[in-house]
Amino acid sequence: MKRLSIFALITVAILMVGYAQAQEKRDFFKIGVVTSLSGELAFGGTVTKRGYDMWEDAINAAGGIDIGGKKYKVQLVYADDQSTPATAAVGGERLITQEKVDCILGPYASGTTLALAPICEKYKVPHITGSAESPLIWLKKFKYTFGTIPPVNLGPRSAIQTLTQDVTPKPQSIAILGIDDAFSKFSAEAMKAAAEKAGIKILKYEIVPEGSDYTPSVTAIKSLKPDIFAMGNHEKAAIEMIKIAKELKFNPKAYVQHYGMSTPDFRKGLGKDIEYVFGISYWTENMKIQSTGLFKNPKEFADAIRKKFNVDPDYTEAGCTGAGIAFQEALRSIKAAPPLTDAQKDALIGALENLNIGTFYGQIKFATEGDAYHANAGLQSVTLQYQGGKLTEVGPPKTRVAPPKYPAPPWDKR
Amino acid sequence: MELFFQTIIDGLLIGGLIIIVGIGFSLCFGVMHIVDFAVGEWVMLGAYAGYLMVRYFGHDPMIYLPVIFLIFFVLGWLVYPLIFRAVSGKGHNPVIMGLVFTFGLSIIAKGGALSVWGYHIQSITTWLSGKSLSIGLVTVPALRFSGFLFGLLVTLLFMAFLYKTKFGIIIRATAQDRDTANLLGADVRKVGAFVYSLYAGVTGMSGVLIGALFSIHAAMGAKYATLAFFVVVLAGMGYVPGVLVAALVLGLLQSFVTVYIGGRYTLAALFLVMYGVLLITPKGILKRGI
């Protein structure tokens, strides 16, 4: 009996080793994706999933990633971070150690990305996030983590510049209300820094917890009568803040919010009250960009997203597809066929650092030094505004489609 | 001066919303000693019910309030036997079992809402949305004011029901001493089912109001569960009339701390007050709790 047990154990062990070895031979790239498919951030995680899935479809439709003349298809394997950092880390570890992915496409949110990045460092697996923007990620100088969207603290500059250089009369004062999360807080700080640089008086700068009732905060801001009411936030908070402002008859000359300008939720949430609201983006489908790679221009990408998902894309979808394209071009340059060895994964890091490509999303060139280490240094932010119900690029002046409309009329005159 | 008075108005109106979430929760705990962790999810489901009514039938969501009350009353009636089963039986700590079971209900509700309705943020508007009254130095948002009035009305109706009706006396007797009330002929199981259903109906209705004021999404309930706990501790656990005072105190505290100290300190202030009450006057600020 004892001999039989030992024999059975040895047999199982041999089978497991054999199975593991058999798993490592494959003729396709297995790419892990960690993002928020459930929980509070599911709305954003789904945006990233659309962007990543769009890349998978497009590259596979083209036959796969060309490695030295042979094409290898891509298979995405998802792990749901459930909108919590700890689960992002666990999901990433499972993708690396059990699914044995070649590389990882990263989460929607900055908090979850900050938890996943050390796991990618530990296992030396290249990781690109097509969404996360917190400067905290880049300050940590993770060797194995990259991002296709510039840090959030660079974005709001454009909106403040538009409002200080391109409108008359020039606004004199600003009040800033930000949400306390890894993205929004830095967006608010960036607005503050840009306002200080532009010589606008900061009447109030407040950071509040997510999910608060914003009424008292908006009341306090209203009492100071700022020209600009700026919000460091995602679109849910902006919807609530603008609704409250209308109820309190608060009439600043401009509303500026950050993320989510083109999302259907933002448009439906505010309806006609969305008019005159300014926001920030790194990409719109009307940009005049030409590319020779996947998707020839932003419009082609936008049409593909609309056809597949029946939604208008925003810059996060574009950034996520861009992340896939970055991996694709870097793998092509090092001629690494799947499954990637550890040496090839390290070589991939070098290739990503040397990457400088034009895509439908814009330039992808990762910084290799400074506070934005491994973030995309190739993009500039643009200012958007809702005019006549349409999302319109109003800054910078060289690329804008229409001049900004300022000041916004009071609520009772609309 | 204008800011001071506006801060008071804001605080009272925030308190009004807290009343309608807290009153049913307090009744549920007072009578059945069940701490319903799913209180936030009843709010969320009520908000979605309002959204679906508007989506499929049109019109203002407020006209559906009686229907939503009935729907959630029935849902509460169906759910209660499961809760009763969880908290009954030998060898259990009923309060903990109730908490754990309702926590499970809240997870199912949240996950179910996400699966059915997805991650999109929904909004509903009523004829009161965006409107406000200017009274002297202050601006009173119309929808919030209606929420405040609704909270007052619900409190008065509950008080009248509990203190002026025969069934209300039976409910209070059950709350005071369940076994004795049972021995005296009160059907405690039916009393519990009725109270839970009433709580579910009122909380579901409050969801429509909250959905019109804020955004509707599957994870919206968590903050209302926290507020419900706060208000019940301050009111005195099980003391329903105290909810009115406690909710208004919490609303004013939130408003004044946000305006005069800073929004980031509001939660800390609420927790400090809650801990202070538990340490100094554990039966609530009116000292009438269990």
Interface of B with A in 195-234 (CB under 8 A): 213-215, 217-219, 222-223
Question: What is the pLDDT confidence band of residue A39, given thresholds at 50, 70 and 90?
Answer: confident
The CATH number of the domain covering residues in B2-280 = 1.10.3470
Across the interface, do A208 and B263 touch by the CB < 8 Å criterion?
yes
Please say if the pLDDT value at position A23 is more than 80. Answer: no
Chain B residue with the nearest C-alpha to that of A222: B3
CA dist., res. B86 & res. B97, Å (int): 6
Chain A residue numbers with beta carbons less than 8 Å from the beta carbon of B129 are: 243
Interface test with A, best of B4, B137, B144, B215 (most A CBs within 10 A): B215
Give the range among A292-296, B21-25, B170-174, B203-207 with minimum mean pLDDT. B170-174
Question: What is the pLDDT confidence band of residue A76, given thresholds at 50, 70 and 90?
Answer: very high
pLDDT digits (tens, 9 = 90+) for A149-185: 998 878 888 889 899 888 989 999 999 999 998 788 8
Supply the pLDDT for residue A11.
Answer: 67
Across the interface, do B259 and A243 touch by the CB < 8 Å criterion?
no
Supply the pLDDT for residue B182.
Answer: 80
Nearest 5°: CA angle at A333, between A327 and A336? 75
Chain A residue numbers with beta carbons less than 8 Å from the beta carbon of B134 are: 249
Position with higher pLDDT, B178 vs B208: B208
Chain A residue with the nearest C-alpha to that of B112: A38
Q: Which amino acid is at A359?
A: T
Question: What is the pLDDT confidence band of residue B90, given thresholds at 50, 70 and 90?
Answer: low
Average pLDDT over residues B14-31: 86
Supply the pLDDT for residue A15.
Answer: 59
Judged on CB neighbours under 10 Å (0-12, 13-18, 19+), B51 is: buried
Position with higher pLDDT, B64 vs A288: B64
Give the range among A80-89, B55-64, B195-204, B229-238 with minimum mean pLDDT. B229-238
Partner-chain residue, chosen from A223, A239, A249, that has the shortest CB–CB distance to B123: A239
Query: Of all residues in chain A, what percent carry a pLDDT higher than 90?
Result: 69
Supply the pLDDT for residue A401.
Answer: 87
Chain B residue numbers with beta carbons less than 8 Å from the beta carbon of A219 are: 3, 6-7, 10, 255, 259
Please say if the pLDDT value at position B252 is more than 80. Answer: yes
Average pLDDT over residues A247-253: 94
How distant is the Cα of A80 from the closest Cα of chain B, in angstroms? 13
B133 touches chain A (CB under 8 A): no
Question: What is the pLDDT confidence band of residue A347, given thresholds at 50, 70 and 90?
Answer: very high
Question: What is the pLDDT confidence band of residue A12, given thresholds at 50, 70 and 90?
Answer: low
Position with higher pLDDT, B46 vs A183: B46
Domains in chain A with CATH codes: 11-151+287-364 (3.40.50.2300), 156-281+381-413 (3.40.50.2300)
pLDDT digits (tens, 9 = 90+) for A353-389: 999 999 999 999 999 999 899 999 988 889 999 999 9
Average pLDDT over residues B20-37: 83
CA dist., res. B280 & res. B168, Å (int): 31
Please say if the pLDDT value at position A200 is more than 90. Answer: yes
pLDDT digits (tens, 9 = 90+) for A207-224: 998 888 999 999 999 999
| Of A398, A404, A411, residue with least CA distance to A386 | A404
Supply the pLDDT for residue A22.
Answer: 47
Across the interface, do A246 and B130 touch by the CB < 8 Å criterion?
yes
> Kind and range of the H or E element at B135?
strand B132-135
pLDDT digits (tens, 9 = 90+) for A57-68: 999 999 999 999
Question: What is the pLDDT confidence band of residue B207, given thresholds at 50, 70 and 90?
Answer: very high
Q: Is beta strand A254-256 parallel, antiparallel or unpaired with respect to A362-364?
A: unpaired
pLDDT digits (tens, 9 = 90+) for B131-183: 898 888 899 999 999 989 988 888 888 888 888 888 888 888 877 777 888 88
| Residue A259 CB contacts under 8 Å (≥ 6 apart), including other chains | A183, A187, A233, A234, A235, A279, A280
Q: Which of A1-10, A20-29, A91-100, A148-157 has the highest mean pLDDT?
A: A91-100
Q: What is the CA radius of gyration of chain A?
A: 23
Chain B residue numbers with beta carbons less than 8 Å from the beta carbon of A243 are: 129-130, 213
Side-chain-side CA neighbours of B85 within 13 Å: the count stands at 5
CA dist., res. A217 & res. A176, Å (int): 10
Across the interface, do B123 and A38 touch by the CB < 8 Å criterion?
no
